[in-house]
Amino acid sequence: MSDGKTNSPIHVRLRFYEELNDFLSPDRRKKEFERILPETTTVKDLIEGCGVPHTEVDLILLNGEPADFDRHVADGDRVSVYPVFESLDISDVTRLQERPLRAPRFLVDVNLGKLAGLMRMAGFDTAYRNDADDDELVEQMLEEDRALLTRDRRLLMRRAVHKGCLVRSDHPPEQLDEVIRRFDLAGLVRPFTRCMHCNGLLHPVDKEEVMHRLRPLTKKYYDTFSQCGGCRRVYWRGSHYERLDPKVRSLLGLS
């Protein structure tokens, strides 16, 4: 009875396309290269052995034919690996990532707290804790059906992680841009509809109802307020609104 393994080395040729090359060593970028394996393995393990998380891959061609992550490679196989496509129509082949997210829900890891705030500012349901470990993140992701945003590529390589994105930039406004582009969210931005602190939904509130919580200058100069249905924080478009990063203002569609 065979277990699918072989005693002879397996020679496989690979090529990664577009931004997936960022994960590779310089000598492997933008060209075909060979890997010699001691035994057969899945396409997923082959790709992640090169440093590319499976969540970043949208299409795999095995000898010119679409393949999923669980396919095993054989000696002489050629594997072409493509990133998540933003505009190219590949509807006739097997996409490996769910597209698009029409009811997007996100989970942000502990190193991306500022991104979590910006995601909430843009109106996206975004869970965040600054003390969650990797196991807790994966558990929450599965329980709440959220896409995981992280800078830890090893975390995205866990088999349980089906939806996720490796955030590349160090700059929060650029990180927000990455996520919006990656998940095709531009048409779903609803600025200032979620609490930046607890992720609760905001609703309009009469000034008189929150007057006792306002400082004197806020009472004098502002009349329009909203309040979080969860933590009850009160929001208004004060001077912080005018100081928003220009990139963030553009992404939120603000004048």
CATH number of the domain at 144, please: 3.40.50
Q: What is the C-alpha to C-alpha distance for residues 220 and 246, in angstroms, rounded to an integer? A: 28
Task: Reply yes or no on whether the pLDDT at 99 is more than 80.
Answer: no
Helix (H) or strand (E) holding 78: strand 78-83
Domain region containing 110 = 105-188
Task: Reply yes or no on whether the pLDDT at 205 is more than 60.
Answer: yes
| 142 shares its domain with 79 | no
Q: By the 8 A CB rule, do 196 and 181 touch?
A: no
| 207 shares its domain with 239 | yes
C-alpha 72: how far from chain center: 27
Task: Reply yes or no on whether the pLDDT at 109 is more than 50.
Answer: yes
| 113 shares its domain with 152 | yes
Asked if the structure places residue 26 within a domain, the reply is yes
Task: Reply yes or no on whether the pLDDT at 100 is more than 70.
Answer: no
Residue found under tokens 């994105």: 165
Asked if the structure places residue 91 within a domain, the reply is no
Listed residues 51, 83, 115: the one ending a domain: 83
| 135 shares its domain with 210 | no
Provide the pLDDT for residue 243: 86
Task: Reply yes or no on whether the pLDDT at 164 is more than 90.
Answer: yes
| 110 shares its domain with 147 | yes
| 223 shares its domain with 168 | no
Asked if the structure places residue 100 within a domain, the reply is no
CB neighbour burial string for 22-57, b if at least 16 within 10 angstroms, e if fewer: ebbeeebeeeeeebebeebbbbbbbbbebbbbbbbb
Q: What is the C-alpha to C-alpha distance for residues 20 and 93, in angstroms, rounded to an integer? A: 19
| 165 shares its domain with 238 | no
pLDDT band at 102 (very low <50, low <70, confident <90, very high): low
| 141 shares its domain with 183 | yes
Helix (H, G, I), strand (E, B) or coil at 44: helix
Provide the pLDDT for residue 241: 80
Which DSSP symbol is given to 140? H
CB atoms within 10 A of CB 141: 23
Q: Quick one: average pLDDT of 154-166?
A: 94
Compute CA distances 39 → 203, 205, 218, whole Å: 58, 64, 68
Asked if the structure places residue 96 within a domain, the reply is no
Asked if the structure places residue 251 within a domain, the reply is no
Task: Reply yes or no on whether the pLDDT at 87 is more than 50.
Answer: no
Q: Which amino acid, 54? A: H
pLDDT band at 239 (very low <50, low <70, confident <90, very high): confident
Phi, psi (degrees; rounded to nearest 5) at 30: 60, 30
Provide the pLDDT for residue 84: 80
Q: What is the C-alpha to C-alpha distance for residues 154 and 26, in angstroms, rounded to an integer? A: 20
| 29 shares its domain with 65 | yes
| 136 shares its domain with 111 | yes
Q: Report how many domains make up the chain.
A: 3
Beta-carbon contacts of residue 197 (< 8 Å; ≥ 6 apart): 228, 231, 233
Q: What is the mean pLDDT of the chain?
A: 90
Asked if the structure places residue 126 within a domain, the reply is yes
CA-CA-CA-CA dihedral for 49, 94, 17, 166, to nearest 10:
-60
Task: Reply yes or no on whether the pLDDT at 162 is more than 50.
Answer: yes
Lowest mean pLDDT among 32-41, 77-86, 125-134, 222-231: 77-86
Beta-strand relationship, 125-128 and 105-108? parallel
Asked if the structure places residue 181 within a domain, the reply is yes
pLDDT band at 197 (very low <50, low <70, confident <90, very high): very high
Provide the pLDDT for residue 89: 47
Task: Reply yes or no on whether the pLDDT at 65 is more than 50.
Answer: yes
Asked if the structure places residue 194 within a domain, the reply is no
